[in-house]
Chain A
């Protein structure tokens, strides 16, 4: 089956007064139909940039240097404004990180949800009804009344649900959730996870979940893509990633999770060193300066993605040597 989304060799720079930042370098990833794919990485890894590129909502100083993003056979990067607008909200929809700023404060929630349906030739009443149904689906109580309320009258957790409802309104083929629980506390996060699981039963599109929260990824995703400093370093099923991680970065990342600690310690494990300066991208493997298992080739030759199994690959010289 054709993947829903196929990103090939995507490279994005950000121009700054001191020179361009090479934020994404030849990123390849694909999202299969009806699957939940997680993109995990720390801040600055480029994961948000990737999905912003998919929506063509990059910042003003961003430049796409190369690559293609295929969705239903068309290259999103080549689309004109009109086609993009037809696509956004309709075929691909996005849920943003901060629920408190995701809706406009001057229109009622219902009004905003009706606006999203502007492409449909339904009556006002029908659109409003659809909005109420969606609010019910995401678990907003008293949807009939609350649909006319303003965003400031809802709590953070509910506003994130509303964002999800808005994204799913047009039944898109791909839903992107960019750090959907990062701004919420743990109990709300659990509720959102539960909501996603419920929605999965009725939503037959694919979902991309972007997060730095390994727990969230583990709960929700079928497949995981690990990014570091603008590159994809590992891609595998969720089980393979968590139990049989092949890339040293992934392994180190998993080790840093306090939930994994086997015994009481004084210091939490960290990955020594810093993320490299992406204005001067070093030669060789991007992780080599912090890698515990590096050797001489790593410093001067960038590794290619090597297969661990047919559905699991990692960008590491350790794999090619075997």
Chain B
């Protein structure tokens, strides 16, 4: 089992490294003078020179790449163009907000999605199943940033039951939780749909397997069979979906943070894009990508714990 873990970890590190390199390549292939674009039409010659020196744009590309790699390995993701603060610190300060939001969204959507999916599978073709089917299609069809906007419209503006903007008073947990409701809901809604449908399909497949029939023949209670014998297997594709879907969810979190004016990586990136603060954007994107790769890794590891055959087949 440890062999599996080490192999996957190694692969993940390699992928992150390649991803960073690709980002480096792409950003250096952009036509035009990045300095003028970055600093805008009002930049003076001195500002441009200083920027060039700071960013090391004049040096040959492989030197730049080398500096880039060594910097990253030392935890230096560059410096904010305007304030000179280290990018890593800026990103680190905003990261927790996004992580909390994403965890809340996954938490409720996975729980509800799994429950709905199980019910649908166990009571297949009943009215409950069909209703859930319709609801899930609807939930999937609305892009998450549109859900954010509509949730804002409906609950904050029209009905005025929940706060619209911000993360709440720091120190006041209840207020912060209230501010998490709408963004968390908006971010998770589509996922409830995906997860419920996937769990339903997986459960139907597993419940038809011979060992479920055998388990019934041994007189095991249906509850045990569904929860421990069937669900444990059926949930594997869902875990994979979540692991891979984190990337999607991080993008969704970006929009949720902007719509609801919450602090976080997404809002940070957006604000920095507007003022062309590229190092921060680059750093944040790299951190996000690394998170994404790691979450896919975690999903694989969870699966290998759930289903021992995964370990054996690597």
Contacts and interface: CB of A to CB of B under 8 A. Distances in A.
Interface residues of A, number: 28
A220 interface: no
A106 B210 contact: no
Given A102-B211, A104-B212, A106-B229, 15 more contacts: A86-B219, A88-B216, A88-B217, A88-B219, A90-B219, A96-B210, A101-B209, A104-B215, A104-B233, A105-B211, A105-B307, A116-B218, A118-B224, A150-B308, A163-B214
Interface in B214-258: 214-221, 224, 228-229, 232-233
9 contacts: A88-B217, A88-B219, A98-B210, A101-B210, A102-B210, A103-B211, A104-B233, A116-B219, A118-B221
Contacts of A88: 216-219
Interface string A80-95: 0000011111100110
Contacts of A89: 217-220
Contacts of A216: none
B307 A106 contact: yes
A53 B87 CA distance: 70
A119 B221 CA distance: 10
Contacts of A261: none
Interface of A: 55, 57, 85-90, 93-94, 96, 98, 101-107, 115-116, 118-119, 150, 152, 163, 166-167
A289 to B, nearest CB: 34
A100 to B, nearest CB: 9
Contacts of A55: 217
Given A98-B210, A101-B209, A101-B211, A152 B217 contact: no
A86 B213 CA distance: 16
Nearest to B210: A101
A155 to B, nearest CB: 15
B314 interface: no
Interface in B179-215: 209-215
A90 B219 CA distance: 7
A152 B218 CA distance: 20
A150 B309 CA distance: 9
A193 B301 CA distance: 42
Given A102-B210, A152-B308, A107 B229 contact: yes
Contacts of B213: 57, 96
A104 B220 contact: no
